[in-house]
Amino acid sequence: MTHSFALHVPDLDLDPEPLDAGRILSGTPEVSGKVIWESEDGRRIRGVWQITPGVVTDTEADELFVVLSGSATIEVEGGTAFTVGPGDMAVLRAGDRTTWTVHETLRKVYAITTPVEDS
């Protein structure tokens, strides 16, 4: 990062992101997002992501996010389920297989970190 900055994200224009049809379990969810910053080595990514109502599956990255608007229930395979909404922070563990039931269009700010591979 060459400088510090601030960004108003609730109404930030996002770019459509393709969603693999095999991940959609119900509804017609659409995903959009924008990478705001990425480290030179690509291991750290900061951005904004949005999904419209529906049910989708995912395999997670090591991620911390804060929900700006909307709500969803996230079920972690073999683990727990939790519901997130505006102001909630969540942490997802890399490799977790999840099912997202999006109740209202959800917009989040996220930070993803990819671990260093052992050589």
List, for the chain, all residue ranges whose pLDDT scores fall below the cut of 50: none
Q: How far apart are CA 59 and CA 72, in angstroms?
A: 16
Q: What confidence score (pLDDT) does residue 1 get?
A: 53
Dump pLDDT digits (tens) for 63-94: 999 999 999 999 999 989 999 999 999 999 99
Closest C-alpha among 31, 36, 92 to residue 60: 92
pTM of the entire predicted model: 0.91
Q: What confidence score (pLDDT) does residue 68 get?
A: 98
Paired tokens of 58: 């995912």
